């Protein structure tokens, strides 16, 4: 089929567009505006003060640190896994694909509890960790583990369909012309998948910064130390500090918006859209 | 070609493993290190004590510095009391636990073996340096005319309380209601009938005290909130003065939020002495005054006298005398198959 407009009547088209816009307005725009208006209810001063407390700053720092560790890890993993799945045949491939999807289907709370069961004081490795004075749960490594687990599928799930569609002709051509593995990867595969990869990384980053459930289970909620931004929002809300809670929430929303805008700008700058080949 | 690809895949795997290890190592370093010289105390507490310990911690730090010349800093963790207890058992390394009820610290002793079973004898007054009780919070002008427990089960009255299976405060609420039912009806059967009737007036059962306060105050649901006294004062003061009123019932329960040194952790951190001094400091007149300012009832008779006007006089039953202690009350009322299951499922 061509990309020509469909044959629906103008009325049906208008109705569809209206439904989509109203839906968007009610379920996305309105809540977002509510967050910002609540945060600024007492003006910009209290808003900035709330972000300037040591606990809020520590939460922001921790959230950025967690994203900075877990996103590159999952980027490398995602590329490696999609490469393996789409370019080779090997036993257990179907199992690998299923496992990659696992974090999507498991409730985040369960994901967190898995790590408590493994690394908690009474967990599988608990005694060994205590003996060697290593802290995983209720410390930064536990939060990183939970976040990596939760954001596992994002990059791979973006890349696998894309790389399947592209096939392996380009790589085979490059290698038959004498390129080695790295050259093939840098000059052929990576340019082919860059938009998909970027999109996956952005989604992965948004979730890494926003994850609540799994992180809540393994965090221990120590103020200024193991509270990420979403956890800090909940605590402030529970302490009736609504301006503070919504100030941090709006910053979190802002970070998400910035990543989306960055993606749009990049696409526009290169005149390409995600998934297009070079 | 295939060998080259395998090589590539292998190399990538090595890189991945290396990056993972490096990331965890970096994270471990940034998470663990304690400052040299200064002692660090981790206080794992429940939700409403934030302001209280914000006032007490700097005062104790100054006291300790003067006494020993050493610095002490604090790591605070707040959450639902039961959840915090669970976290300590799972390895959250609290030096001191300051929770909503003795049962949650009993659980740490029993399941985690991190402190002796008779921890409650370590400090004066059952290891509860401050107390509270259960009162009613009603909307301005008390439109439903609520004066006592009996008014809560009148037609058309909606009562907000949390689920006693999950919330510490909610257990105190339940037992206070039971005490009224027993006094008014003269028997446990009458108490059960009253409490059953009461829970038929509860439209939303939140999981914790903070949740039900938010339901009542923020979402505007219900005519009366059964609440910790300190929560009720806080809600009245912080969330709109003049929007709510506190009603003192004819009978309530003495709530004793307990504190204890988690001895195994303190020993490991070398903080036994300072942790013990910290909890003992809670009994000093300075700390007792801060306690009263934060709407908890002080133990010190002189300070209590000083703040007499702030707290209504309410006859109170106690968990040990009237319910045979927490272990028994927990088993009778809140464990699976207990009284609460019976009255709530047979709604």
Which domains, from first to last, does chain A contain?
A: 41-270 (1.10.3720.10)
Q: Are residues B250 and B260 in the same domain?
A: no
* Closest by Cα among A217, A221, A207 to A256: A207
Domain count for chain B, please give it: 2
Can you tell me the ipTM of this complex?
0.75
At residue B20, the pLDDT reads 47
CA-CA distances (angstroms) from residue A278 to A169, A201, B135, B171, B178?
Answer: 15, 19, 69, 64, 74
Greatest CA span in chain A, whole angstroms?
73
Tokens 């569809």 correspond to what residue? Answer: A16
Q: Are residues B222 and B237 in the same domain?
A: yes
Q: Are residues B277 and B144 in the same domain?
A: no
At residue A227, the pLDDT reads 92
Angle between the N-to-C axes of helices B168-185 and B188-199, in degrees from 0 to 180, rounded to the nearest 10:
130
Identify the closest residue of chain A to B22 by CA–CA distance.
A69
Confidence check: pLDDT of B78 > 50: yes
At residue B61, the pLDDT reads 96
Question: Would you say residue B116 lies in a domain?
Answer: yes
Q: Are residues B188 and B224 in the same domain?
A: yes
| Cβ–Cβ below 8 Å for A238 and B24 | no
At residue B32, the pLDDT reads 37
Percent over 70 (pLDDT), chain A? 95
Q: Are residues B127 and B172 in the same domain?
A: no
Instruction: Please give, rounded to a whole number of angstroms, the shortest distance from the CA of A87 to a CA of chain B.
Output: 9
Q: Are residues B205 and B264 in the same domain?
A: no
Confidence check: pLDDT of B345 > 80: no
A44 is written with which tokens?
A: 């910009």
Question: Would you say residue B31 lies in a domain?
Answer: no
At residue B308, the pLDDT reads 92
> Is residue A206 a contact partner of residue A70, using CB atoms and an 8 Å limit?
no
Percent over 90 (pLDDT), chain A? 38
Average pLDDT, chain A: 87
Residue A175 has a CB neighbour count (10 Å cut-off) of 18
Q: Are residues B155 and B301 in the same domain?
A: no
| Cβ–Cβ below 8 Å for B77 and A221 | yes
Question: Would you say residue B6 lies in a domain?
Answer: no
Give the mean pLDDT of B15-37.
44
At residue B16, the pLDDT reads 46
Is B15 part of the contact surface with chain A (CB cutoff 8 Å)?
yes
Under DSSP, the state recorded for B132 is B
Question: Would you say residue B19 lies in a domain?
Answer: no
Q: Are residues B207 and B319 in the same domain?
A: yes
pLDDT digits (tens, 9 = 90+) for B255-274: 999 999 999 999 999 999 99
Question: Would you say residue B229 lies in a domain?
Answer: yes
Q: Are residues B241 and B264 in the same domain?
A: no
At residue A5, the pLDDT reads 59
Q: Are residues B183 and B122 in the same domain?
A: no
> Is residue A159 a contact partner of residue A78, using CB atoms and an 8 Å limit?
yes
Contacts of A76 in chain B (CB under 8 A): 12, 15-16, 19
Residue range of the domain that includes B286:
39-131+256-310
| Cβ–Cβ below 8 Å for A181 and B31 | no
Is B57 part of the contact surface with chain A (CB cutoff 8 Å)?
no
Give the mean pLDDT of A45-62.
91
At residue A42, the pLDDT reads 85
Q: Under 8 Å CB-to-CB from A65, ≥6 apart: which residues?
A: A140, B27, B30
Note the helical H segments in B226-300.
229-238, 263-269, 272-281, 285-293
| Cβ–Cβ below 8 Å for A238 and B28 | no
Instruction: Please give, rounded to a whole number of angstroms, the shortest distance from the CA of B170 to a CA of chain A.
Output: 17
| Cβ–Cβ below 8 Å for B31 and A141 | yes
Confidence check: pLDDT of B35 > 70: no
Q: Are residues B337 and B280 in the same domain?
A: no
Instruction: Please give, rounded to a whole number of angstroms, the shortest distance from the CA of B264 to a CA of chain A.
Output: 12
**Segments of chain B assigned E as strands:** 39-46, 72-79, 96-98, 130-131, 134-139, 159-162, 205-206, 224-228, 244-247, 252-253, 259-261, 297-298, 316-317
Helices (H) and strands (E) in chain A — how many of each?
15, 0
Contacts of A224 in chain B (CB under 8 A): 75
Question: Would you say residue B33 lies in a domain?
Answer: no
What phi and psi, each to the nearest 5 degrees, are found at residue B202?
-100, 110
Angle between the N-to-C axes of helices A153-166 and A54-87, in degrees from 0 to 180, rounded to the nearest 10:
30
Question: Would you say residue B12 lies in a domain?
Answer: no
CATH number for the domain spanning B241: value is: 3.40.190.10
Question: Would you say residue B69 lies in a domain?
Answer: yes
| Cβ–Cβ below 8 Å for B23 and A88 | no
What is the DSSP secondary-structure string of A155-177? HHHHHHHHHHHH-SHHHHHHHHT
pLDDT digits (tens, 9 = 90+) for A230-257: 999 988 887 778 889 999 999 998 888 8
Tokens 């922001």 correspond to what residue? Answer: A60
Q: Are residues B119 and B61 in the same domain?
A: yes
Report d(CA A154, CA A159) in Å as an integer: 9
């Amino acid at each position: 089929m061509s990309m020509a407009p469909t044959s629906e009547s103008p009325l049906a088209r208008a109705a569809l567009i209206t439904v989509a816009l109203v839906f968007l307005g009610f379920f996305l725009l309105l809540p977002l505006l509510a967050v910002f208006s609540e945060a600024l209810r007492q003006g910009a001063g209290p808003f900035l003060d709330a972000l300037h407390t040591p606990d809020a700053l520590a939460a922001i720092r921790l959230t950025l640190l967690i994203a900075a560790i877990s996103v590159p890890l999952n980027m490398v993993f995602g590329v490696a896994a999609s490469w393996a799945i789409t370019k080779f045949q090997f036993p257990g491939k179907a199992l690998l694909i299923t496992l990659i999807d696992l974090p999507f289907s498991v409730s985040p709370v369960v994901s967190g509890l898995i790590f408590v069961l493994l690394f908690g004081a009474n967990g599988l490795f608990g005694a060994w960790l205590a003996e060697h004075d290593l802290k995983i749960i209720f410390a930064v490594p536990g939060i990183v583990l939970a976040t990596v687990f939760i954001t596992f599928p994002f990059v791979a799930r973006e890349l696998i369909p894309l790389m399947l569609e592209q096939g392996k002709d380009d790589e085979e051509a490059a290698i038959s012309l004498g390129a080695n593995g790295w050259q093939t990867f840098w000059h052929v595969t990576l340019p082919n998948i860059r938009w998909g990869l970027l999109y996956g990384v952005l989604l992965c980053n948004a979730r890494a910064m926003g994850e609540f459930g799994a992180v809540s289970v393994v965090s221990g909620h120590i103020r200024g130390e193991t509270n990420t931004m979403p956890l800090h929002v909940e605590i402030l809300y529970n302490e009736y500090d609504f301006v503070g809670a919504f100030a941090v929430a709006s910053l979190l929303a802002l970070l998400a918006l910035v990543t989306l805008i960055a993606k749009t700008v990049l696409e526009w700058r290169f005149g390409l859209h995600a998934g297009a080949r070079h | 070609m295939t060998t080259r690809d395998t090589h590539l895949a292998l190399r990538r795997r090595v890189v991945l493993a290396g990056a993972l290890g490096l990331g965890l190592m970096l994270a471990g370093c940034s998470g663990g290190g304690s400052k040299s010289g200064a002692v660090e105390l981790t206080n794992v507490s429940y939700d409403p004590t934030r302001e209280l310990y914000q006032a007490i911690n700097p005062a104790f730090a100054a006291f300790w510095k003067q006494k020993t010349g050493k610095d002490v800093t604090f790591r605070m963790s707040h959450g639902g009391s039961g959840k915090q207890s669970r976290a300590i058992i799972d390895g959250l390394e609290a030096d001191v636990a300051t929770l909503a009820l003795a049962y949650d610290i009993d659980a740490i002793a029993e399941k985690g073996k991190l402190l002796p079973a008779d921890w409650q004898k370590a400090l004066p007054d059952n290891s509860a340096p401050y107390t509270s009780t259960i009162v009613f919070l009603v909307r301005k002008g008390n439109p439903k005319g609520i004066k006592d427990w009996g008014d809560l089960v009148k037609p058309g009255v909606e009562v907000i309380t949390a689920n006693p299976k999950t919330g510490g405060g909610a257990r105190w609420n339940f037992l206070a209601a039971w005490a009224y039912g027993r006094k008014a009806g003269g028997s446990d059967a009458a108490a059960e009938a009253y409490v059953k009737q009461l829970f038929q007036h509860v439209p939303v059962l939140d999981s914790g005290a903070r949740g039900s306060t938010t339901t009542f105050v923020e979402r505007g649901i219900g005519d009366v909130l059964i609440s910790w006294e300190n929560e009720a004062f806080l809600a009245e003061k912080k969330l709109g003065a003049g929007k709510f009123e506190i009603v003192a019932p004819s009978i309530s329960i003495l709530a004793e939020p307990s504190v204890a040194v988690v001895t195994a952790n303190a020993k490991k951190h070398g903080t036994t002495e300072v942790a013990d001094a910290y909890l003992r400091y809670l009994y000093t007149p300075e700390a007792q005054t801060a306690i009263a300012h934060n709407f908890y009832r002080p133990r010190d008779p002189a300070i209590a006298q000083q703040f007499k006007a702030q707290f209504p006089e309410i006859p109170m039953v106690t968990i040990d005398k009237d319910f045979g202690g927490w272990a028994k009350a927990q088993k009778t009322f809140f464990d699976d198959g207990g009284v609460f299951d019976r009255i709530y499922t047979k709604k």
